[in-house]
Amino acid sequence: MGDTGIEPKSATTGSTTQGSATPETVTPGGKVRALLSPGDGPPLREVAAAGGWYPLVIITSLNVVDELDRAVLGVFGPNVQRYFGMNDATFGLLVGVQVTALVLLAVPIGYLGTKIDRGRILRWSALAWSIMSLATTFATKLPLFFLARFGVGIGKSGVEPVGKSLLTDYYPPNAWNRILAVHNAANPVGALLGPALAFVIAFFVGLEPATEIVDGVTKEVMRAPDDIWRWAFPVLTVPSVVALIASRRLKEPDQQMVRGLTGATISVTGAPSGMNFREAAGRILRIPTFKRQIIGIGVLGFALVGVVAFLNIFLERQYRIDAEGRAIIGMVLATASLLGTLIGGNVGERIFAKDPARAVRLVGGAIAVFSVLLAFAVFLPNVWIFLPVAWVGLLALQVGVAPLYTALSAISPPRLRPLMFSLLGLMVAVMGGIAGGVIVGAITEASDIRWGLASLAPTGIIGGLLMARGSTTIEADIAKVAEESKDDPLAAFL
């Protein structure tokens, strides 16, 4: 991303425009293949031939296992809440505790990865979250449950910074876009497999009679036992241990240019050597586009973490969906995330290459559209109408936010990017992980779950508009970074 001299590309073929050359005719099938392809660069099989399939498969598998835990906990969230007698605000805080642990430790663990064997760090991380996930099963008191979930967040904190840095050393820079796209696709894949696993567990555990108040009337209902989650976490330990054993041959690659340069130039805070944290953060916050993006991302985190925390509770309370049904809905919605990631990665890359300002407007617009559709969907009378509206909203969000990190990388000096992404994560954790869940929970307690989720719409719209305003300054910020980075050895690699 150091080179920002981006050539325009033909919207029809994706090839560099040369004078008045006539674009090739593309068949409908060709258009579909182009839409889902990862963009320019060598085919994935050629990339794997150079770096091997093993690192990509193992590191991506660890990312999938990481997502499984979060998805399964979401499906059984209403059962966990009833088992411990949590109110909605406390349940929102539970999600925030794990997110906060992950974000706060990601920077120091990422720095540690510049000093010692990163394959070993990944194995330690996998072992830690496997142990803490299993410990969740035996947490009989709420404080112990919180402690176990915090420990899971600690274990997961090594996956992102260490895994991504290993991949960028195993594979050449011209393949990073597609390699990281495969790695990032693990999140929607895990979000798809997690509910599938929850469905199997709910099916075999079965239902039991319970008393429930429906519209002010006490009724006898059949539902999954409130301690069903105790079956889930031992099962989740199995793929974690398999991934851990499979990663035993993961080691430092022979080519470590990025790791060596980064390790020599950043401190434990994420700031470059020779610059303290305050100076580095101040330099980033003076970037006009970034100022709008960081506020928008914080507001977005407020919305998205609240949705993750309360969606399954909403499905049970509003539509009386049991654990098996929530698992199926989770799988359906995960297909929107997966398809949006595949389409958005390519579409976003092409739009950004052609017009960075338009890409930033796409990000802001997608967030606003998702927020409006969500607020509309929660008041729909039945789940059969809710589901397609929510699916379209999630698809729009995933397609739209694809250029976000490319845009942020383009406006930040290479040496400041580790700190920049840490600041963004911190904003998501503080505003989304803690404030988002607790505030939505408080509104839910005061009114009902629909108004709690609908309250996220204004924050999403505001965040989207703030991000879209970055389109007015991004070109100048990219040009400034290009000028500043001419003599930076990291610019060619980051």
CATH code: domain of residue 119 = 1.20.1250.20
Has residue 27 been placed in a domain?
A: no
Has residue 223 been placed in a domain?
A: yes
Q: Taking 60 as the threshold, does the pLDDT of residue 492 lie above it? A: no
Q: Taking 60 as the threshold, does the pLDDT of residue 179 lie above it? A: yes
Has residue 30 been placed in a domain?
A: no
* Residue that wins the pLDDT comparison between 45 and 192: 192
pLDDT single digits (tens) 357-399: 888 888 888 888 888 898 899 999 999 999 999 999 988 888 8
- For position 376, what pLDDT does the model report? 93
Say how far apart CA 367 and CA 404 lie, in whole Å: 11
* Residue that wins the pLDDT comparison between 49 and 483: 483
Cβ-Cβ contacts under 8 Å for 121 (sequence gap 6 or more) = 109, 112, 113, 158, 162
Has residue 490 been placed in a domain?
A: no
Domain count, the chain: 1
Convert 254-274 to b/e letters by CB count within 10 Å (16 or more is b): eebebbebbeebbbebbbbee
- For position 15, what pLDDT does the model report? 36
What are the residue ranges of helices labelled H in 157-276? 159-170, 176-184, 186-205, 229-246, 257-265
pLDDT single digits (tens) 300-349: 676 666 677 788 899 998 998 988 899 999 999 989 988 887 787 667 76
Exposed / middle / buried, residue 486 (Cβ in 10 Å: 0-12, 13-18, 19+) = exposed
Has residue 5 been placed in a domain?
A: no
- Residue-number span of the structural domain to which 446 is assigned: 48-484
Has residue 32 been placed in a domain?
A: no
Has residue 413 been placed in a domain?
A: yes
Has residue 21 been placed in a domain?
A: no
Say how far apart CA 313 and CA 311 lie, in whole Å: 5
pTM exceeding the 0.85 threshold for the entire prediction: no
pLDDT single digits (tens) 402-441: 777 677 777 877 667 656 766 776 677 667 666 677 778 7
